[in-house]
């Protein structure tokens, strides 16, 4: 065996990937060649350093919880978009809620309406990420998305694209929440998806977004003069608030088409 042949097989030799015959030849060469012997020593030393420092890691708890939840939801969620009656939807949502909680955050029957609503919204968000529920109208053009809602809702929701600010509009869909059909707008931030739920309200504007975090998801909620807003995403809270600021600003200005 030449030194060149030895060098070419050195890695496989160290990894135990050579056949018995080749291994014997390698050992024989090792004993007769000091420079190849040194090369072998260096590779062994390198491997020991790599194995010492490149340790297996443990998945963070938030990741584990998020995946567990998403997987359970996937197991129960109706995957295809079937036209359902409100009663069926409520039943599905209730079933999903029970599934999604998994004993982690229990829904008490006497929970406040706000809490129940945020549960509904979170469940709707998680469902939208499974399967193709995210958008019924897929478009990054606000002038396509806004008219799509015509005739589907008893209101025409304001739709803005914030692609210029790093939050491109992805599309829109309908969902059934709080006992009514509501508009849902989808936005993206890198790999994160954001759902915006909005419907008319009589509350009037309030001071600013209230926020809640559940198992890796953040929810923001506020009231504009005409609409109540819910925003939910797994995006970091700082960026999500920045996004909420854009929405509030755009809607308040209302001058933008």
Partner 1 sequence: MVEIEVRPRDRVITRGRMPSPDIPARMRGVVEPTQLARFEAVILPHLDAAYTLARYLLRHDEDAQDATHDAVLRALRHFGGFRGEDARAWLLTVVRNTCHSWQRRSRAHEQEVAFDEEVHSETGAEEHPEAALLRTADREAVSRALDALPAEFREVIVLREVQGLSYREIARMTEVPIGTVMSRLSRARRYLERTVGRR
Binding site residues, partner 1, CB under 8 A:
8, 10-12, 15, 17, 35, 38-39, 41-51, 53-60, 62-64, 66-68, 70-72, 74-81, 130-132, 191-192
Question: How far apart, in Å, are the Cα atoms of 189 and each of 18, 167, 173?
Answer: 48, 5, 18
Distance in Å, CB of 215 to partner 1, minimum:
12
Identity of the residue, 13 or 222, whose beta carbon is nearer to partner 1 in the bound complex:
13
CA 120 to chain centre: 17
Distance in Å, CB of 256 to partner 1, minimum:
28
Closest C-alpha among 126, 118, 152, 120 to residue 137: 152
Distance in Å, CB of 117 to partner 1, minimum:
26
What is the CB-side half-sphere exposure of residue 69 using CA atoms within 13 A? 24
SS3 79: coil
Distance in Å, CB of 105 to partner 1, minimum:
20
Identity of the residue, 89 or 248, whose beta carbon is nearer to partner 1 in the bound complex:
89
How does DSSP classify residue 60?
P
Sequential DSSP letters for 195-257 = EEEEEE-SS---SS-EEEEETTEEEEEEE-SSEEEEEEESS-HHHHHHHHHHHHHHHHH----
CA 29 to chain centre: 55
Identity of the residue, 67 or 91, whose beta carbon is nearer to partner 1 in the bound complex:
67
Identity of the residue, 98 or 256, whose beta carbon is nearer to partner 1 in the bound complex:
98
Distance in Å, CB of 40 to partner 1, minimum:
9
Identity of the residue, 3 or 254, whose beta carbon is nearer to partner 1 in the bound complex:
3
Identity of the residue, 66 or 166, whose beta carbon is nearer to partner 1 in the bound complex:
66
Distance in Å, CB of 152 to partner 1, minimum:
20
Q: Which residues pair with 213 in a beta bridge?
A: 218
């Amino acid at each position: 065996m030449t030194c060149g042949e030895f060098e070419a097989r050195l890695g496989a030799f160290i990894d135990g990937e050579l056949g018995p015959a080749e291994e014997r030849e390698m050992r024989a060469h090792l004993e007769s060649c000091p420079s190849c012997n040194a090369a072998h020593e260096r590779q062994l030393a390198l491997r020991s350093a790599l194995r010492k420092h490149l340790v297996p890691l443990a998945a963070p708890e938030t990741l584990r919880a998020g995946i567990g939840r998403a997987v359970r939801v996937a197991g129960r969620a109706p995957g295809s978009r079937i036209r359902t009656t409100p009663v069926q939807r409520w039943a599905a949502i209730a079933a999903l809620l029970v599934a999604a909680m998994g004993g982690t955050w229990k829904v008490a029957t006497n929970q406040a309406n706000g809490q129940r609503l945020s549960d509904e919204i979170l469940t709707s968000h998680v469902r939208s990420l499974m399967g193709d529920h995210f958008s019924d109208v897929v478009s990054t053009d606000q002038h396509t998305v806004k008219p799509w809602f015509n005739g589907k809702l008893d209101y025409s929701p304001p739709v803005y694209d914030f692609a210029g600010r790093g939050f491109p509009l992805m599309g829109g869909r309908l969902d059934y929440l709080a006992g009514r059909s509501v508009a849902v707008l989808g936005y993206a931030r890198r790999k994160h998806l954001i759902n915006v739920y909005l419907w008319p309200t009589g509350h009037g504007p309030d001071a600013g977004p209230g926020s809640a975090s559940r198992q890796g998801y953040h929810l923001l909620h506020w009231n504009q003069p005409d609409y109540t807003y819910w925003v939910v995403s797994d995006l970091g809270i700082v960026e999500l608030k920045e996004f909420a600021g854009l929405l509030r600003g755009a809607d308040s200005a209302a001058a933008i088409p």
